[in-house]
Amino acid sequence: MQFDFSDDQKELQTSVRRFFEKYSPTTAARSVLESDAGYDTALWRQVGEQGFLAAALPEEYGGVGAGYLELCVVAEEVGRALAPLPTVPSIYQAAEFLLLAGSEDQKSEWLPKIASGETIGTVALVERPGELSSSTVATKAQGNKLSGTKLPVSNGMDAGLAIVAAQSDDGLSLYLVDLAGPGVERSGVNTIDPSLKHATITFAGAPAEPLGPPGAALDLIAKVRDRAAVLTAFEQIGGADAALMTARDYALGRFAFGRPIGSFQAIKHMLADMYVSLELARSNCYYGAWALAGDSEKLPLAAATARVAATQAYQLCSANNIQVHGGMGFTWEFDCHLHYRRSNYLATALGGQGHWEERLIASMRPVAA
């Protein structure tokens, strides 16, 4: 079975790459990192105008209606460019929650705004370290009002919409909250990648709308995380590829003892390890893309495999990129730390590596008769 992109999809990838090379060089991520901004607002608007955010959204909700394979292509180039954009919470999660569980009115109101970049969506699910479960959520819904505190919330300072997990009379349920409404307080949270800031959000009687069936939060969260895992994995392999190419170029151009350092065995082996890890992750991501696009029953397995492999690849490539650069790799002036920050941010964006390794094992177990 062939898991590859079509010629049209590869042409799209080339176009998206050129766009980011022009409008989002690494200086863009650095400028956001050094400022108080939570993302690159101008780039987010441009990406929305190009239709990149709306690649997989239906046309009736302001989308392009292309499909998930096209969104995977976009995601890889977002990662390659280190673009400081809230794609993970807004496009890969909030939009997917609305598609899966939103009412027609909720979809019609919010998806066009998310597709255009007018509104950033986010998810406010967890409140403490550890696995998300009914016992770890204290936020409560009384009628259609929420009270509780969520931490950390990705791009929570800038988001206009949040999907919130809260206790209801029917168990753990999901709610949609307009963050511009009353009863919402936010405060910034420092993270390892300041170009994508987080927040603590406190709800004090905030108006909320039920999203999906009551008591079905955990099932919906698992389905959305599988979808988001594949898309995030493509961002990770894009970043890993960029880190590998940066290390390779430096190894070819940096001389020691009259020879390029890339000719030394230790550097060769380091680059080879990076390449093998990346290609393994890429093959798993392609399988994940196939499962996502076809809504396959194998998606949980494919998503976990892609997520585990891509996380390992990006963390290895970003760390080894620093090592190949030697002492210069640890300096603020070189861009190595940008990939290292992003790789660690993405590694925890949807639950840590342990969560996905356990999900991978569980997906491989035979179903009891």
Sorted by where each starts, the structural domains of the chain and their CATH numbers stand as 7-116 (1.10.540.10), 121-214 (2.40.110.10), 218-364 (1.20.140.10)
* Low-confidence residues in the chain, pLDDT < 50: 369
Separation of alpha carbons 127 and 159, rounded Å: 18
pLDDT in tens, 331-355: 989 999 999 999 999 999 998 899 9
The CA distances from residue 360 to 5, 79, 344, 356, in Å, are 25, 24, 20, 6
Separation of alpha carbons 58 and 99, rounded Å: 9
| pLDDT for the residue 2 | 66
| pLDDT for the residue 141 | 96
**% residues pLDDT > 90 (the chain):** 83
